Structure 1
Amino acid sequence: MSAAGTEKASAQVFFAPMRSRMKRSMVARMGGLLGRAGLGGAIAEGDLVAVKLHFGEQGNTGFVHPVFLREVVRRVRDAGGKPFLTDANTLYRGERANAVDHLACAIHNGFSFATVDAPLIIADGLDGRDAIDIPVKGRHFDSVRIGSAAVHADAMVVVTHVKGHEATGFGGALKNVGMGLGSRSAKQRMHADFRPEVTPDACTACGRCVRWCPVDAITIGPDSYAVVDYSVCYGCGECVAACPYGAIATQWKTDATSIQEKIVEHVAGALDGKDGKIVYVSFVTLVTPDCDCFEFSDAPVVPDIGILASTDIVAIEQAAYDLVTEATGLAGSRGEGLAAGDDKFVAITGVDGTHAIRYAEEMGLGTREYELVRVD
C-alpha cells in the first residue's frame, strides 16, 4: 500500500488484525510485531529505553491497557534494555499537570511497577520544567523543549492509541511524541494559534468548560453563556472537547496547519540523536473521536482494526490513518453514516490531520510510502 503513488523507497508497517486465524493472544501478537519491526536491532545491551505512552485520565478508558505495556517491557528487557514508562506533564487541569498527580493517575489506571515490571518516570520532572532545548530546522521554531528523561534515554518505544482530536483532527504517533514529550512550556507554544469560540444559543451554562480550563480563561457571563477571556486563553482546546453540546467551536488565529507543523517540529526534536533506536506501536482500537485527556471516552467511531508496528513514524501514521478511512463508521457513534473510504477524522472534527503527516515527511522524519505486512 502507499499514500502518494510516487516512486520512492517504502517502509514496512507490520499489521496484526483483530482476528487471529491461529487463535493467538493479541498481547503475544503485539510482542511479535515488535520483533518483526526490529526491536532487537534498536536496543543495545544496557540501553536506557523510554517507553512513551499516554497514562490516560481518571475516568477515561481509551488508553492502551497495562497488560500490553508489560509485554513491551518484557521484550525490551529480553533485548538487553532497561525500560521505563514515561510521558510529560499536561497544561490542562486534569490529573497529570505535575509529576505527583501524574503518577497517582497512572497508578489509578493500572500502571505501576507491580503491573508493568518497570518504573514510571515523568519526562519533564516535577512541575514540567525539567526539559532540554533541542535545535530544529522548522518553519516555526529554531529549537524545541523536550522532557529531559526522553532526551537522555538511549532508545525509545512509542506506544500510541490512535484516535481523533478536536484541534489537530488526528491523534497518532506524531502527536504522541511531539505534544506528548514537549514540556509544559512547549505545549503552550504549540497551541498558540488556536482559539475557542462560543455559540451563545447552544450554550447551556453547564460549566464543564469552566472546570476544564487550566488558566481560568472562561466564565459564565451575566447572560448565562460561557465567555472566553482571550487575553488569558492560550488555546489548549480542552473546552472544545469538554462541551457536551457543541457550543464551543475550533477557530484559528492563522489556520489549522500551524499547530500540526509545530507538533512535528517537536517530534524532530524528540527523535534527534536516536536514528535506528526507535520502534513505534500504534493501536488502531477504540478509535474515539477525542483525545485520551478527558475524564470520559466517547463511543469508538469505527470497529477495532488491529495493531501496527514500524521503525518509520511517518509510515505508521499514514497506515493508521488509511485503515480508519477504509473502515465503516459504527452506528450509534459520531462515525455513524460514514462509509468505507470517507475520511472519518475530517468528517468528525472538521480538521485535515494529514497535513502533519506530509510535513513530517517533508522534514525528513520518514516516508508516507509503506508496505503493510500482515502478521498472524
Structure 2
Amino acid sequence: MEPSEVFFINLRCENGDSRLTKLERLIKKAGIGKIDMQGKYVAIKIHFGEPGNLAFLRPNYAATVVQVIKELGGKPFLTDCNTLYVGGRKNALDHIESAYKNGYSPYATGCHIIIADGLKGTDEVLIPVINGKYVKQAKIGRALADADIIISLAHFKGHEGTGFGGALKNLGMGGGSRAGKMEQHSDGKPYVNQENCIGCGNCVKICAHDAPTVTKGKAMIDHEKCVGCGRCIGVCPKDAIVPGDGSSNDKLNCKISEYAKAVCEGKPTFHINVVIDISPFCDCHGENDVSIVPDVGMFASFDPVALDRACVDAVNAQPPIQSGRLGDTVQSHCDHLTDSQPATNWRVGLEHAEKIGLGSQHYRLVTVK
C-alpha cells in the first residue's frame, strides 16, 4: 500500500511572505484544488476557542482557507457543534457570541458561522459507522451532515483525554451533537442533579421512551427505560441533567475515530493541522498553559490519520520547553504527548482509525517551500 502524502510548510517568513500566504501555498500544493467545489456547500470544521483561551487559531487562518474555497467556486461556512459541558459554547447563541468575541466575525473571515447541531445541540443526523466497534450510528450535527464537502482546520495541541487533539478530534468529537459527545465521553446514562433541577418538564417532552418523570418539582430518569441518547441534556435550561459514567481514555479515542469516520463518510474531505501554541490541554479550556514544545509549522493532507501521525512525530522531534508542563516532569521526553498527559495513549485512536478504514499511519512527508 502506498503511503499517504502529508504536505508540510515551516513558519519562517521573510519580507513579502507571511504565515497566511504560506498556508495558501501549502493547501494548494497539497491538492485542495482537486476537489470539485463549484456551487457546493463547503463546511470548514473549526474550534472557535472557549472564552479565556488564547491558544485557539486566529481567524486569519480561516479567512485564508475561505478565500481559496471561494476561488474554487465553493460556498464556505465555518462550523462547530455545541459543547456537552457548561461554558461559552453550549448553545448556538452563546457559541456564536463566543466566536465573535474571539474574532470570528463574517467581516474577518469572509463567511458566516453555522452551529452544526442547532440552537440547543439537538439538531442531529444519525449516520451509520461502517466497521464501527463502539458506535453503530453516530449523532452528527446536521449542518455537517448536509454539507457537500468537509474541510478540517484544526489547531494541533495536547489533550488530557486523548493525548493530542488534531484532525480526528476536530471532526469526531467536534462533529458530534451534544448527545453524540455524551456517547463518546460516556458509557452510562444521564442522571439529574436534583439541586439544579427546577421541574420544568422539558426532559419529559423530549424523551421518546418516557424515561424522565417529574415528581414534587424534581425530575428523575428511569434507567430501565433510558436508551442514553442524551437529548434531555440539550433541552435542560439549568444543566441539571449530566452524563453518566465516563468512558476510559482508550475507548474515548476509538469512539472519536468512529465519529470522525461518520463525518467523512461518502463525501470529499481535506484536512489542515496548524501546529503552533501547543498547549498540553484542549482549547475547550477557558485558559491555556505554556506550550510543551516550540511551534512546528502547518500540515495538510487528504488523509486525516496520516496527517495526525505526521504531526505527532513532528511534535515529538522537538525539544521540550522547560518553562512548560514538560519541565515539571521527570520523564525521558522521548514522547512529549504521553509525558505531558501520562494517563493517555495517543496511539490507540490512530490505530483504531486505521483499522476501520479512515486512513493510514504510513505517510510520506512533502516539504513545501
Q: TM over 0.5: same fold?
A: yes
State yes or no: 1:67 paired with 2:35: no
CA apart distance, 1:331 = 1.6
In structure 2, the partner of 1:152 is 146
- Cα distance change, pair 27–254 in 1 and its aligned pair in 2 (3 A): closer
Percent identity over paired residues: 38
Find the aligned partners of 1:338 and 1:81 in 2 and give their Cα distance: 50
Equivalent residue, structure 1, for 2:96: 103
Q: Distance in 2 between matches of 1:253 and 1:67?
A: 36
Closer/same/farther in 2, CA of residues 362 and 41 from structure 1, 3 Å limit: same
Structure 2 equivalent of residue 313 of structure 1: 304
2-side partners of 1:12 and 1:338: how far apart?
A: 36
Q: Can you give the 5+ residue segments of structure 1 that lack an aligned partner in the other structure?
A: 1-7, 195-213, 220-230, 235-251
Aligned-partner Cα distance in 2 for 1:69–1:21: 22
After superposition, the C-alpha distances for 1:187-238 in whole angstroms (9 at most, x for unaligned) are: 00111159xxxxxxxxxxxxxxxxxxx986999xxxxxxxxxxx99x9xxxx
The residue aligned with 1:374 is: 367
TM-superposition CA deviations, 1:292-341 (whole Å, max 9, x none): 01111110000000000111001001001101111111021002278996
Q: Is the Cα contact below 8 Å between 1:55 and 1:105 reproduced in 2?
A: yes
Residues 39 and 74 of structure 2 are in contact (CA less than 8 Å); yes or no, is this contact kept in structure 1? yes
Query: Displacement, 1:157?
Result: 1.2
Q: Distance in 1 between matches of 2:117 and 2:297?
A: 31
Q: How does 1:110-259 map to 2 (within 5 A)?
A: 110-136=103-129, 137-193=131-187, 255-259=248-252
Alignment TM-score, normalising by the size of structure 2: 0.82
Q: Please give the alpha-carbon distance, in whole angstroms, between the structure 1 residues aligned to 2:35 and 2:195.
A: 46
Contact 2:320–2:333 (Cα < 8 Å) also in 1 = no
Letter in 2 for 1:286: D
**1:13, distance to aligned residue in structure 2 (A):** 0.7
Residue 154 to residue 253, structure 1, CA distance change in 2 (3 Å): closer
Q: Distance in 1 between matches of 2:193 and 2:15?
A: 53
Please, which moves more after superposition, 281-290 or 41-50?
41-50
In structure 2, the CA distance between the partners of 1:143 and 1:76, relative to structure 1 (3 Å rule), is same
Of residues 58, 69, 73 in structure 2, which corresponds to 1:76?
69
CA distance in 2, matches of 1:300, 1:42: 35
Alpha-carbon distance between aligned partners in 2 of 1:32 and 1:88, rounded to the nearest angstrom: 29
The one-letter amino acid paired with 2:84 is L
Q: How far 1:43 sits from its partner (Å)?
A: 3.2
Does the 8 Å contact 1:329/1:338 carry over to 2?
Answer: no
Match of 2:270 in 1: 279
User: Does the aligned pair in 1 maintain the 2:185–2:247 contact within 8 Å?
Assistant: no
The one-letter amino acid of 1:345's match is L
Pick one of 18, 25, 29 that aligns with 2:22: 29
Poorly superposed stretches of 4+, deviation over 3 Å: 20-23, 214-219, 252-255, 337-341
Q: TM-score, normalised by structure 1?
A: 0.80
Partner SS for 2:326:
coil
Q: Which residue of 1 aligns with 2:206?
A: none
The question of whether the paired residues in 1 share the 8 Å contact of 2:140 and 2:263 is answered with: yes
Q: Determine the C-alpha separation between the residues in 2 that align with 1:354 and 1:22.
A: 40
C-alpha deviation, 1:40, in angstroms: 1.1
1:352 paired to 2:345: yes
Aligned pair partner of 2:7 in 11, 14, 30:
14
Deviates more, 1:361-370 or 1:255-264: 255-264
Equivalent position amino acid for 1:146 in 2? I
| Inter-CA distance 87–253: structure 2 relative to 1 (3 Å threshold) | closer
Task: Tell me what 1:332 maps to.
Answer: 323
8 Å contact 1:158–1:279 — kept in the other structure? yes
**1:260 maps to which of 249, 253, 257:** 253
Cα distance change of structure 1 residues 218 and 262 upon mapping to structure 2, 3 Å threshold:
farther
Conserved? CA contact 1:327–1:339, under 8 Å: no
Give the whole-Å Cα distance in 2 for the aligned partners of 1:354 and 1:61: 27
- Contact 2:185–2:246 under 8 Å retained in 1: no
User: Aligned equivalents of 1:106 and 1:192: distance in 2?
Assistant: 27
Match of 2:289 in 1: 298
Once the 2 structures are TM-superposed, how far is the Cα of residue 24 of structure 1 from its aligned partner? 2.0
**Would you say the 8 A contact 1:47–1:82 is kept in 2?**
yes
Q: Are the aligned partners of 1:53 and 1:87 in contact in 2 as well (CA < 8 Å)?
A: yes
Structure 1 letter corresponding to 2:154: T
From 34, 38, 47, the counterpart of 1:45:
38
The count of corresponding residues between Structure 1 and Structure 2 is: 319
Note the C-alpha offset of 1:255.
Answer: 3.9
Matched to 1:318, the amino acid is R
Deviation at 1:168, TM superposition (A): 1.3
The one-letter code matched in structure 1 to 2:8 is: F
Query: Which AA in structure 2 matches 1:169?
Result: G
SS at match of 2:182: helix
